[in-house]
């Protein structure tokens, strides 16, 4: 029931949003929607942690993984909504955008949320596919939001590449239905029945299907070499949208891959899917880390860092065991921190109105709080204690050291390279003398609170995990 309430709240905002004539109303309703979403998803998460799975009707199905993903969407979603209210106001003040664009923004934003929640909770694989495709559709215009040629280009690449990928994923999804042909199931086929029937899959077909799924949804997850759309889209979208894209959307897509991984493992054994995951993870980390070293644009930098972190997560699931557990944790931390980083990057962009790293100097004097947040986020995302990503990285590597020592060693050094490159850019941004044209003025508190909240949450989670979260995590590790 909560689920319907939650989803409807977004749709309610989204659809009539077109009719509303007043900005404040739109902002208010979307804020309320995201607050509701947060509350509801916590309720659902508690339910799931206590009951197991939660399926109010045949159409929805929330297991532990879904619950975790929902929590991520909701937490980041609230922060992003709060942030984007102020962000858009600032931009309207600078009259970069007008009212219609603001309205369009919020409508699409809420559609995006709805699509992501649907994708996380839909029962049928095909519906999941449809809604993930729907996220692509909802965000296409958000990426081309500023209507500059470069953002159109980004949007086009995003659309085309993702659709190609997703159609491959669709094909893979369909292949899993071959398991049903013996019994010829009719009507809507849910995840659970598929998993139940997975034993009837022909192992080779399962392998092929998984390859299609991995490469297809992997495009959405941003695994190299299918990652090419990601830096463009993330750097051209408005900062809050980039935060959602790399903080949340990637995880939603990856959760789907995991669901398919289970079926494949049932017939093809763990080794196959794990090796694939390890290979793609290592490639992603390699490419991302090397490109980060010579990056010139801080939003693209963050985007590549997302690719690297997705690679780490995938690697963790490839290693399995403790690795999977900590990969999930890594997913949570990364979602929170990366969106915080993108939000503070948005503030930096508002101040300097440039995304070139070379243009940003003396952040510490220009934006004291935001720069501190940015620095903290950087330390956190590159795995500096006391932030939890350090732990997850060590755990992932430790479980990798048991099975693939060489891989673990290589990845260790790639991570070091990421740190060096990232750190190089961050120091050049934070320190130094600030350019004279940038005037030092008070920071908008509402632009600071959301990233601060996210980082604080991540910090809290890296010191202590709530009980229901640990149960969810263990549940996921048990299943996937």
Partner 1 sequence: MLLEIVFLTIVFSHITRKNFGAVLAYSMQSLAIAMVIFNSFLLTGATSLLFIASLVLLVKVIMVPFFLARLIQRHEIKFSVSTYLNVPLTLISIAGLVAVAHSRKFAPLTSIVPANQLLLSLALSAMLLSFFLIINRKGAISQIIGILSLENSIVAFAIFAGLEQSFSLQVGIVSDVFIWFIIATALAFMIYKHFGSLEVTSMKQLKD
Partner 2 sequence: MFNTLIPQVSFVVLLSFFGVGAIGALLFRKNDVISNGWSSFFAIIGSLWGLFFSIVTIIAGHNLSFVVGKSSFPRLALSFHIDTLAGFFIFVISLISLFCSIYGIGYIKHFYKKYDIGVFCFFYHLFIAGMLLVVSASNGIFFLIAWEIMSVASYFLVVYDRNEEENVKAGFLYLIMTHVGTAFIILALLLAYKFTGSFDFETIKLGAGLIPLSVKNIIFVFAMIGFGTKAGIIPFHIWLPSAHPAAPSHVSALMSGVMIKTGIYMMIRIFLDILQPIPVWWGLALLIVGSISSLLGVLYALTEHDIKRLLAYHSIENIGIILLGVGSALTFLSLGMPQFALLGLVAALFHTLNHAIFKSLLFLSAGSVINQMHTRNMEEYGGLIRYMPQTAMFFLIGSMAISALPPFNGFFSEWLTFQSLFQGVALSGFYGTWFFIVAAGSLAFTGGLALACFVKAFGVSFLARPRSAEVAHAKESSFSLRLGMWALATLSLLFGIFSGRITLILQEIGRGLTIFKNVPSFIVVSSRQSIAVGNDFSFVSAPIFFSFLIVTFLLVMFVMHFLINRNQKVKVGATWDCGTDLTPRMEITATGFSRSIILIFKGVLRPSIQHETEYHDSESRYLSRSRTVVLGVQDVYQAHFYQPLRKAIRTLSLRVKDIQSGNINLYISYIFIALIIALFSVL
Alpha-carbon gap, residue 219 to 250, rounded angstroms: 9
Write 189-194 long-range contacts (CB < 8 A, 24+).
189/124, 189/125, 190/58, 190/61, 190/123, 190/124, 191/61, 191/123, 191/124, 191/125, 191/259, 192/61, 194/125, 194/263
- Provide the 3-class DSSP secondary structure of residue 375: helix
Q: How far is CA 359 from CA 90, 355, 356, 429, in A?
A: 21, 8, 5, 8
Which residues in the 256-285 window bind partner 2 by CB under 8 A? 272, 276
Contact partner at residue 446 from partner 2, partner 1, none, CB < 5 to 8 Å by partner kind: none
| Nearest of 390, 235, 227, 412 to residue 310 by alpha carbon | 227
Of positions 174, 262, 279, 369, contacts partner 1 by CB under 8 A = 174
Select from partner 2, partner 1, none the partner in contact with residue 154, using the beta carbon and a kind-dependent cut-off of 5 to 8 Å: partner 1
Among 93, 100, 187, 437, binds partner 1 (CB under 8 A): 187
Give least dist CB 297 to partner 1, A: 8
The item of partner 2, partner 1, none sharing an interface with residue 186, based on CB under 5 to 8 Å by kind, is partner 1
- Binder to partner 1 among 121, 242, 274, 297 (CB under 8 A)? 297
3-class SS at 24?
helix
Residue 325 partner contact from partner 1, partner 2, none using kind-dependent CB cut-offs of 5 to 8 Å: partner 2
Q: Which is nearer to partner 2, 186 or 442 (CB)?
A: 442
Q: State the distance between the two ends of the chain, measured CA to CA, in whole angstroms.
A: 26
Residues 83 and 343 sit within 8 Å (Cβ to Cβ): yes
Interface residue with partner 1, options 13, 69, 88, 154 (CB under 8 A): 154
In whole angstroms, give the CA distance from residue 447 to residue 450: 7
Among 33, 37, 291, 328, binds partner 2 (CB under 8 A): 291
CA dihedral 450, 455, 459, 464 (to 10 degrees): 40
CB of 16 or CB of 269, closer to partner 2: 269
> Please, which residue, 215 or 396, has the CB nearer to partner 1?
215
How many Cβ atoms from other residues are within 10 Å of residue 463's Cβ?
9
Secondary structure (3-state) at 124: coil
Locus of tokens 């693939």: 404
Q: Let me know the angle formed at the C-alpha of 339 by 169 and 127, rounded to the nearest 5 degrees.
A: 25
Binding marks (x or -) toward partner 2, 194..233, rule CB under 8 A?
----------x--xx--xx-xx---x-----xx-xx-x--
Give dist(CA 98, CA 18) in Å, integer. 15
Tally of CA atoms within 13 A in the half-sphere of 9 that contains its CB = 22
Residue with tokens 């995938």: 314
CB closer to partner 2, 32 vs 398:
398
Whether 199 contacts 266, CB under 8 Å: yes
Beta carbon of residue 172, minimum distance to partner 2 (angstroms, whole number): 10
Name which position in 141, 146, 465, 468 contacts partner 2 (CB under 8 A). Answer: 465
Cβ distance to partner 1 smaller for residue 358 or 445: 358
For 201-236, give one letter per residue: b (16+ CB within 10 A) or e.
beeeebbebbbbbbbbbbbbbbbbebbebbbbbbbb
Least distance to partner 1, CB of residue 152, Å:
5
Using rule CB under 8 A, residue 425 touches partner 1: no
Q: What is the DSSP string of 388-415?
A: HHHHHHHHHHHHHHHH-HHHHHHHHHHH
470 binds partner 2 (CB under 8 A): yes
171 binds, among partner 2, partner 1, none (CB under 5 to 8 A by kind): partner 1
Region 207-236 residues binding partner 1, contact defined as CB under 8 A: 208, 231-232, 235-236
Residue list 307-366, contact with partner 2 (CB under 8 A): 322, 325, 364
Q: What would the DSSP string read from start to end of 180-224?
A: GTTTT--SPPPHHHHHHHGGGS-HHHHHHHHHHHHHHHHHHHT-T
* The pair of three-digit structure tokens given for residue 205, joined into one six-digit string: 């077909």
* 412 binds partner 2 per the rule CB under 8 A: yes
Kindly state the smallest distance separating residue 427's Cβ from partner 2, in Å: 5
Site string for partner 1, 111-140 (x = CB under 8 A): -------------x-xx--x--xx-xx--x
Question: What is residue 385's three-state secondary structure?
Answer: coil
Q: Give the per-residue contact string, 234-253, with partner 1 (x = CB under 8 A; - = no).
A: -xx-----------------
Residues making contact with partner 2 (CB under 8 A): 156-157, 160-161, 164-165, 168, 204, 207-208, 211-212, 214-215, 219, 225-226, 228-229, 231, 272, 276, 286-287, 290-291, 293-294, 322, 325, 364, 379, 384-386, 390-391, 394-395, 397-398, 401-402, 405, 408-409, 412-413, 415-417, 419-420, 423-424, 427, 431-432, 464-465, 470
Interface ranges with partner 1 (CB under 8 A): 124, 126-127, 130, 133-134, 136-137, 140-141, 144, 147-150, 152-157, 159-160, 163-164, 167, 170-171, 174-175, 177-178, 181, 186-189, 202, 204-205, 208, 231-232, 235-236, 291, 294-297, 300
């Amino acid at each position: 029931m909560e689920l319907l309430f939650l989803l409807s709240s977004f749709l309610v905002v989204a659809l009539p949003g077109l009719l509303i004539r007043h900005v404040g109303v739109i902002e208010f309703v979307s804020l309320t929607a995201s607050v509701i979403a947060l509350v509801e998803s916590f309720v659902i998460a508690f339910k799931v942690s206590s009951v197991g799975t939660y399926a109010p009707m045949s159409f929805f199905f929330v297991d532990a993984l879904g619950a975790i993903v929902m929590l991520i969407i909701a937490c980041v979603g609230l922060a992003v909504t709060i942030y984007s209210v102020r962000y858009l106001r600032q931009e309207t003040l600078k009259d970069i955008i007008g009212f219609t664009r603001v309205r369009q923004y919020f409508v699409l934003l809420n559609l995006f949320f709805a699509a992501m929640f649907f994708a996380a909770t839909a029962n049928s694989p095909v519906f999941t596919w449809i809604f993930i495709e729907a996220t692509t559709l909802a965000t296409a215009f958000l990426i081309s939001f500023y209507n500059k040629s470069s953002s159109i280009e980004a949007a086009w690449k995003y659309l085309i590449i993702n659709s190609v990928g997703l159609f491959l994923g669709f094909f893979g999804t369909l292949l899993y239905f071959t398991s049903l042909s013996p019994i010829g199931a009719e009507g809507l086929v849910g995840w659970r029945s598929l998993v139940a029937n997975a034993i009837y899959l022909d192992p080779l077909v399962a392998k092929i299907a998984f390859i299609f799924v991995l490469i297809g949804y992997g495009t959405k997850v941003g695994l190299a070499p299918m990652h090419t759309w990601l830096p463009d889209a993330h750097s051209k979208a408005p900062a809050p949208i980039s935060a959602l894209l790399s903080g949340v959307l990637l995880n939603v897509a990856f959760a789907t891959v995991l669901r398919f991984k289970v079926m494949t493992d049932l017939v093809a054994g763990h080794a196959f899917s794990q090796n694939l995951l390890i290979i793609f993870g290592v490639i992603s980390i390699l490419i991302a880390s090397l490109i980060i070293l010579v990056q010139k644009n801080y939003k693209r930098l963050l985007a590549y860092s997302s690719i690297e972190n997705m690679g780490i997560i995938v690697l963790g699931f490839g290693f399995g065991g403790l690795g999977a557990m900590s990969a999930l944790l890594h997913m949570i931390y990364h979602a929170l921190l990366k969106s915080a980083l993108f939000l503070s990057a948005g503030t930096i962009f508002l101040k300097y109105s440039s995304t070139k790293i070379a243009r940003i100097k003396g952040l510490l004097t220009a934006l004291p709080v935001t720069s501190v947040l940015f620095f903290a986020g950087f330390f956190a995302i590159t795995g500096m204690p006391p932030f939890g990503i350090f732990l997850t990285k060590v755990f992932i590597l430790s479980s990798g050291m048991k099975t693939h020592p060489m891989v673990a060693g290589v990845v260790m050094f790639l991570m070091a390279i990421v740190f060096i490159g990232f750190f190089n850019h961050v120091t050049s941004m934070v320190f130094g003398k600030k350019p004279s044209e940038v005037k030092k003025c008070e920071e908008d508190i509402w632009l600071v609170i959301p990233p601060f909240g996210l980082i604080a949450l991540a910090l809290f989670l890296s010191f202590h995990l709530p009980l229901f979260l640990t149960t969810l995590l263990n549940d996921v590790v048990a299943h996937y």
